[in-house]
Structure formats: C-alpha cells, structure tokens
Amino acid sequence: MPTFTVLCRIDAFADYVAQVDADTAEEAAKLAREDHNHYSWEHDQTAEFDARLYVTLDAEGNEIEATQVGDF
C-alpha cells in the first residue's frame, strides 16, 4: 500500500503534514480527516485560514485539489 503526505491546515494559522498509508490520494485525505489523532503531524509552515482542511500533497509538495476534504 502506498504512503501519501497529507496536509492538515488549521485555523490557528499552522500547517501540519503526516504520512498516511492508503490505496489512493483521495483515501489518504479522508483517512486523515476521520482519524486525525492516529497520525503524527509535523509543523510544515504558517498560513492564514479560518477552518480545517485536509488535502494530499504530490511529490513536489503541491496540493492535489481533487483530494481536498474539510470545512472549506
């Protein structure tokens, strides 16, 4: 099973990333959202948002918009 990097962007202006094993990038984002505390989230960068967003990142660290799940 592949491992995907999933970004969790929280309204406290902080981005975190975690490694999520899943069959697809879309499933990785959904798993991260459903069981947030199961994963080890590492601070990635600071951003300005008011809700919580989960989205899978590609190999270059870019967001795969089709995988976005959350309150945005």
- Tell me which DSSP letter residue 60 carries: T
Give the residue among 55, 65, 11, 16 at the shortest CA–CA distance from 37.
Answer: 16
Tokens of 63: 């967001």
pLDDT tens for each residue of 19-42: 999 999 999 999 999 999 999 998
How many domains would you assign to the chain?
1
**Would you say residue 44 lies in a domain?**
yes
Q: Which bin fits 13, alpha (ψ -120 to 50), beta or left (φ > 0)? A: left
The number of angstroms, rounded, from the C-alpha of 55 to the middle of its chain's C-alpha atoms is 4
**Would you say residue 67 lies in a domain?**
no
**Would you say residue 28 lies in a domain?**
yes
pLDDT tens for each residue of 48-64: 656 677 889 888 988 89
pTM for the predicted model, two decimal places = 0.55
Give the residue among 12, 17, 16 at the shortest CA–CA distance from 50.
Answer: 12
